[in-house]
Amino acid sequence: MPKDQPPAEAFLKDIFGFDSFRPGQGEIVEAVAGGENVLAIMPTGGGKSLCFQLPALMRPGVTVVISPLIALMRDQVRGLREAGVVAGALTSGNTPEETDAVWDALHDGSLKLLYLAPERLANAGTQRMLAEAGVSLIAVDEAHCVSQWGHDFRPDYLRIGELRRMLDVPLAAFTATADVETQQEIVTRLFDGQAPRTFLRGFDRPNITLAFQPKNSPRTQILSYAAARRSQSGIVYCGTRAKTEGIAKALRDDGHPACHYHGGMEADDRRHVEERFAREDGLIVCATVAFGMGVDKPDIRWVAHADLPKSIEAYYQEIGRAGRDGAPAETLTLYGPDDIRLRRAQIDEGNAPPDRRAADHGRLNALLGLAEAQGCRRQALLAYFGEKAAPCGNCDLCETPPELFDGTEAVRKALSA
Ligand code: ADP
Ligand code: MG
Ligand code: ZN
């Protein structure tokens, strides 16, 4: 290795085995290693873990990593150990031997990364131990879990701010959730309102075509969309369980391999669909939003929404399941006045407190803004996530002038209803 090579690059190759940083990673690593407070927002799969794991090796002492899922923590610890890094986790899943080994490594100063389950922070013993352990950095993975208005809220995340004050060390927070309210909450709760250096990176998925259509006859529209994409794997997201079954049947009647998936099915049946989808080429799954977390198929060629998603974040996540392999993929979202009314009613009828409801309406309205956009949809979508972009040439509005497109009437009716 040449002498003048910066240490970050050396660790990147020697420890992690990567040739180069992904977009954004290099700057984030530099800021975190340099001891700045950082909030980094990168899409799922963007490579956030490296952005705290690598700086942890560059900083003195130990980095505490707070992460919401024991399985994820154990997975990262295993990966780090295989790479020769001294890392450990303190979670409820530990054997006494594992916990002893972590304590020993902490005491003899060899531990570089300590993964901590958030509920551990409530423990006075843990706090004392951390105060004496030579912590030089706190990394918070899935930092949106601190947001009380989000679905992943973890009350114990609220203790992280206290930990930061006690240890008085830099904190780096990572999330894939980019909306402004969540960002503000992260800044308030993790950084005491002192704006950290913020990185917002790479939300564009240029290989995915974006398109919206007013909903006329959803079943016919979905059938013709699928017919033009025969033998390609796709997902049809539906607003109700009944509709997943109805559309799956219509697709089968039309000669497609198709099945349905929703939260009302037995766990075994759901797993069966997940496995079939992963294995089989060209299967179409008609699903509610329950079909998500477990879907890790790289070659999904299209995603259609038979009904409008509940928010712009949900839309981005759901279309984002297409084309993970980077090859061209297409999406179509249908929407009409009934969708808008239904989504509004769902927000209003929920038990959420008023400011949460206001935020949910905001996220739905942002999606309606996208549905009604007059210019490039990707530009509008990325602008929501804080990114500037030129017109993409890969959305329906870039391809077809907006004058020819009339979805506005449906929305106007709904708004005045
Ligand atoms: P995120 O937490 O942002 O969803 P991960 O940290 O889990 O993403 O990383 C996703 C994948 O990308 C992992 O398999 C990881 O090993 C890989 N990865 C991360 N950084 C790089 C890089 N610089 N070069 C190649 N692969 C990378
Ligand atoms: Mg991650
Ligand atoms: Zn465009």
The answer on pLDDT for 403 being more than 80 is no
Residues in a beta bridge with 198 = 39
Q: Is the CB of 47 under 6 A from ligand 1?
A: yes
Q: How far is the CA of 21 from the centre of ligand 3 (A)?
A: 28
pLDDT > 90 fraction of the chain, expressed in percent and rounded: 75
- For 104-141, letters b (16+ CB in 10 Å) and e give ebbeeeebbbbbbbbebbeeeebbebbeebebbbbbbb
| Location of structure tokens 């005045």 | 416
Under 8 Å CB-to-CB from 198, ≥6 apart: which residues? 38, 39, 40, 41, 183
Q: Is the CB of 23 under 6 A from ligand 1?
A: no
User: pLDDT per residue over 296-305, tens digit each?
Assistant: 788 999 999 9
CB 381 within 8 A of CB 312: yes
Whole-angstrom Cα distance, residue 305 to residue 318?
Answer: 9
Start-to-end CA span in the chain (Å): 68
Question: pTM above the 0.90 mark?
Answer: no
User: pLDDT per residue over 48-94, tens digit each?
Assistant: 999 999 999 999 999 999 999 888 899 999 999 999 999 999 988 88
| Ligand 1 atom at minimal distance to the Cα of residue 25 | 23
The answer on pLDDT for 1 being more than 70 is no
The answer on pLDDT for 141 being more than 90 is yes
User: pLDDT per residue over 26-56, tens digit each?
Assistant: 999 999 999 999 999 998 778 899 999 999 9
Whole-angstrom Cα distance, residue 101 to residue 87?
Answer: 10
Residues in a beta bridge with 41 = 175, 200
Mutate which of 11, 12, 13, 22 for ligand 1? The one with the most ligand atoms within 8 Å of its CB, which is 22
Atom 20 of ligand 1 has which residue's CA nearest to it?
47
- Give the model's confidence band at 417: pLDDT under 50 very low, under 70 low, under 90 confident, else very high: low
Please report which ligand is nearest the Cα atom of 52: 1
- Give the model's confidence band at 295: pLDDT under 50 very low, under 70 low, under 90 confident, else very high: confident
Atom 2 of ligand 1 has which residue's CA nearest to it?
48
